[in-house]
Structure 1
Amino acid sequence: MSKPAVSHTLGVAVLAFGGIVAATMQTLVVPILGELPEILGTSASNASWVVTVTLLTAAVATPIAGRLGDQHGKRRMLIACTIPLCSGSVLAAVATSLPLMLVGRGLQGMGAGLVPLGISAMRDIMPPEKLNTAVALMSASLGIGGALGLPLAATVAQYGSWRALFWVSAVLSLVAAVLIRLILPVPASPGRAGSGFDFVGALGLSTGLAALLLAVSKGADWGWSSGMTLGLFGTATIVLLTWAWWELRTTEPMVDLRTTARPQVLLTNAASVVVGFSMMASSLIVPQLLQLPERTGHGLGKSMLVAGLVMAPGGLAMMAVAPVAGRISTKFGPKVTLLTGCLIVAAGYLASLYLMDSVATLMAVVIVISGGIGFAYGAMPALIMGAVPATETAAANGFNALMRSIGTSASSAVVGLVLSQMTVTIGPMSIPSEDGFRTGLLIGGLAALLAALITLAIPCRRPAEQPSTSTGVSAETSQIPTHVKESNS
């Protein structure tokens, strides 16, 4: 006898909560970065690895978690992702040295697979007419967690112990695991019986990504022409090309590159890289503008807490537009939603060039850009799921999330380079100039326009032409597993 179906709204809420918890790990330590060298007895350069290691492990773990979700069931892997998230938080909370903190932060990054797995699980458990809205909310949880995590972390760090940041994240991770177990008791997918795991592909992808993202994120510190940076770029190129050769020849690939090469998937992933790039530009520039001293002429002299509070409405904007994005995708197709989001982001960046002089105007810019990102992020999984078999949904969404991560890492490197080169000297300090900030914002806007152009090239059918219009899933891939239908009837 099957268990009664849970409320769809409750299921979405639980999955979105897990995604938001995982996403907060990206900004969790930002408020205490200045204190980490003293806390851990290390240099500022070494302390920066506390952020970098989380991004690296998240990028590597996400596609692997997606593949395992397709094979062994998404609910099982959702719970599995909360284990390193919780244990890593505990390790970071008790850390007294850099190595232990790095292990903890690395484990926290492994929880990033919650987002693409949650998106894929929704395809199995949601009715078609509600799927697009649910996916939009889950996909936006990446931005929501990052935006809301910053002011919450700043508040805890300012008025309490820094260790409380990690104890709170450990508790939230445990709550997410319990809720997933209780609210989603029936496996969302039967998995692929008899399929093997591509250990060679996983190792190759992990090694290539680690080398690439290390070179991108640390190139400015080491020097873009240094032997270390060039060596990592060379290693990444060789390893990833070898990995692609292997994936095309193995019977159970880590990532099905033939599916990934389909125009709808390929161009959606390309747009994801550029949208991720565009999103990160504002996240890097606006907090710096808010915190620079007023005597610079373009800084607003606000605290980290105020800066976090200014960024927080961006997360709320993403949450607010999710239902709208879902309805647009259902009626007109996710391609229209993605294009709309890219154009909104571009408009936000254009406005930002003239609205840099007050807290209120910068907050308005953040809301507009974040709203556009919410539209774009909500459409990407629908486009991906409309072009891949149901048995590859989690892996394909995991790879798409990886593309976004590569975009944000590239943006951090490019915008960081611009701000480091376009500076003014005030007393003993060398700080980014107003022209440097404007250039960074312009680059973010141009990236959004490029994403819009890529979106126009996506060969996506109109909803009326698709057998399963509200999901954006083709007839080949829209079948929900029989046991899930029965459990939800």
Structure 2
Amino acid sequence: MSHTPAPSAPSAASAADPRRETVVVFALSLAAMVVSMMQTLPVPILGLIRADLGVSTADVSWVTTATLLSAAVFTPLLGRFGDQHGKKPTLVAVLGVMVAGSVVAALATSLPLLILGRVLQGAATAIFPLALSVLREEVRPQKLPGAMSLVSGTLAFGSGLALVATGLLTSGSGADYRNAFWMATGFAALALLAVALLVPATRHKTGGRTDLLGAFTLGLTLLLLLLPISQGNEWGWTSGRTLGAFAGAAVMAAVWVRTELKVREPLVDMKMFVHRPVLMANLAGVLVGFGMFANFLGVSYLVQMPQALTGYGFDASILRASVQFLLPGAIVSLLASPIGGMLVRHRGPRTALALAAGLGALGFAWLGLDHGHTVSVIGAGIVVGAAVSFGYAAMPAVIMASVPHHQSGIANGINSISRSTGSAIGSAVVTTILASQTLDHLPAGVPPLPAESGFTLTFWIGAAAFALVAAIAGLGLRPRPATRTTPANVPAAAPEKVTAV
């Protein structure tokens, strides 16, 4: 059955004044970048936090887990709320919450307070789907793919930038991890001002009730799914808590689907949710998110390995690992964003996703074959960074071409969750592999260190993930000739462009 949304015309002001479009894209790109920074910000400083607050490794892992779980609960709810009651007010409110959460995290003197700050920061993940919905209103159709690609590209750039900036702020003796959260506060305040002053008020509002029951059941489903993924390595993958949480997630997923089928105004339209292009974009989101985190964590851990003890690695400090090995890929991911937009516009999102898959598989295969030379690690990271950027450019274009205007916020919210879920899985897989494959012969008193085979396996799994993305682009998004149509929201595409079917 054909499903082609009606085109959404941007405002007369934006159509007449390209500078206004540029300003809006800048403000939303800054906001998206800051949100993505919040996800990876504490990764390099977990050891400092653990030592300063006197908590265990298992307990400090909640500093990252809390943000992931918060994002899973609030992103779909706030995405739908913005569609119904106004995107700009919702954006401003969410950014205000992120500023407050950053201040709480910077001032926290105990782990519970720090976790509270991280929960508030995680709620701001809803900015991304809201930003894409605003772009759909404010940007001319011929410029929309490039604008969406630039905003999407800042996600990969922001994640890498946070690692680098945190490394810079916490290098040297006597480093204070709170400096990283004060930096986050400054960026969050800047994003809040940019959106409040530069983004126009929302014109399209659907109104209606907020499906609180659907939001609750979906949030609980995601909590029960992501909690064991992120904590499984600490709990044990076959422990009662882990298996029980996965079973609970399956039960709650069934309850959520039943709820959404019965509610008059559901949070998520099930027909939209299982619509083939949307479903394929979400599966691609899981895989690309997995690849991004597998690259960040795998490379970061690899280059910090002490070569004298392990026989591999680069003896890199946190600062060197961030600046020399991770920053180049983050910069390339940002530079690749407009190229991804041009590719989406002229060749369609299917081509962009296929190129992302090829580059990602190539980059990880390069790491799997040669991770003993600096040029290989940096070069492969650059290739993977471009792949992630192209993937992030393609997925929103598929979504926007496949759903009606009033569902764009929630549809992109679900896609955002799919990427976060993939990142959580990537983190869990990398951690589990490196913890399970350790060196046998180490001097007394030296903590367990991963064997090189663990990194090799991690990189080949990353290559396999992008190979699956290639299958999605080649088969899952292949147009069906009998119902081929031209999507309204991705103009000027080549014949192979994704169609809504």
Which TM bucket (shorter chain)?
over 0.9
Deviates more, 1:347-356 or 1:382-391: 347-356
Q: Given residue 449 of structure 1, which amino acid in structure 2 is its aligned partner?
A: A
The question of 1:256 aligning with 2:274 is answered: no
The question of 1:384 aligning with 2:403 is answered no
How far the C-alpha of 1:383 sits from its partner, in A, is 0.3
Map of 1:70-469 to 2, 5 A cutoff?
Answer: 70-158=83-171, 161-187=176-202, 189-193=203-207, 195-295=208-308, 296-309=310-323, 310-425=325-440, 426-427=442-443, 428-456=446-474, 457-460=476-479, 465-466=486-487, 469=490
Amino acid in structure 2 at the alignment position of 1:222: W
Letter in 2 for 1:392: Q
- CA distance 1:461–1:381, shift in 2 (3 Å): farther
Unaligned ranges ≥5, structure 2: 1-11
Judged with a 3 Å threshold, the aligned counterparts in structure 2 of structure 1 residues 250 and 466 are, in CA distance, closer, same or farther, namely: closer
CA contact (8 A) 1:274 1:448 kept: yes
1:301 maps to a residue whose letter is D
Tell me the residue number matched to 1:58: 71
Please tell me whether the aligned partners of residues 19 and 141 of structure 1 are also in contact (alpha carbons under 8 angstroms): yes
Residues 1:87 and 1:238: Cα distance change in structure 2 (over 3 Å):
same
Match of 2:35 in 1: 22
Q: Deviations over 1:345-382 (max 9, x none)?
A: 00111111233113332111110001011111100000
Note if contact 2:487-2:500 (Cα within 8 Å) is conserved in structure 1.
Answer: no
Moved more, 16-25 or 32-41: 32-41
Contact 1:14–1:179 (Cα < 8 Å) also in 2: yes
- Please state whether the residue corresponding to 1:429 is helix, strand or coil: coil
Change (3 A) 1:467 1:124: closer
1:72 alignment partner AA:
H
CA shift digits 1:172-229 (9 cap, x unpaired): 2122111111111332x42113x10000011111111111111111111111111111
Letter matched to residue 306 of structure 1 = R
Could you say which residue in structure 2 is the equivalent of 1:40? Answer: 53
Distance 1:460 1:476, change over 3 A: closer
Cα offset, 1:415, TM superposition: 2.4
The answer to whether the 8 Å contact 1:343/1:452 transfers is: yes
Paired residue secondary structure (1:190): coil
Maintained 8 Å contact 1:205/1:240: yes
Q: Render the CA deviation track for 1:45-83: whole Å, top value 9, x for unaligned.
A: 211111111111112221122111111122121111101
- Counterpart CA distance in 1 for 2:301 and 2:13 is 52
- After the TM superposition, which parts of structure 1 deviate over 6 Å for at least 4 consecutive aligned residues? 461-464, 471-477
- How many residues are treated as equivalent by the alignment? 475
Aligned to 2:6: none
Residue deviations 1:292-342 (CA, integer Å, cap 9, x gap):
101111111000011111211222111111111111111111111111111
SS in 1 for 2:40: coil
- Which structure 2 residues correspond to residues 460-479 of structure 1 after superposition, within 5 A? 460=479, 465-466=486-487, 469-470=490-491
* Amino acid paired to 2:451: S
The CA deviation at 1:26 is 1.4
Taking every aligned residue pair, what percent have the same amino acid on both sides? Answer: 35
- Which residue number in structure 2 is paired with residue 483 of structure 1? none
Consecutive unaligned residues of structure 1, counting only runs of 5 or more, are: 478-489
**TM-score normalised according to structure 2 size:** 0.90
Cα 1:241/1:471, change in 2 over 3 Å:
farther
Distance in 2, Cα, partners of 1:293 & 1:420: 16
Partner Cα distance (1:47, 1:130) in 2: 44
The code of the aligned residue for 1:130 comes to: K
Partners in 2 of 1:311 and 1:468 — Cα distance? 34
- Deviation sequence 1:261-292 (CA, Å, 0-9, x none): 11111111112212222222111210011101
Shift of 1:475: 11
Q: Is the 8 A contact 1:82 1:176 kept in 2?
A: yes
Q: Secondary structure at the match of 1:89?
A: helix
Q: Distance in 2 between matches of 1:27 and 1:271?
A: 21
Contact 1:318 1:371 in 2 (8 A): yes
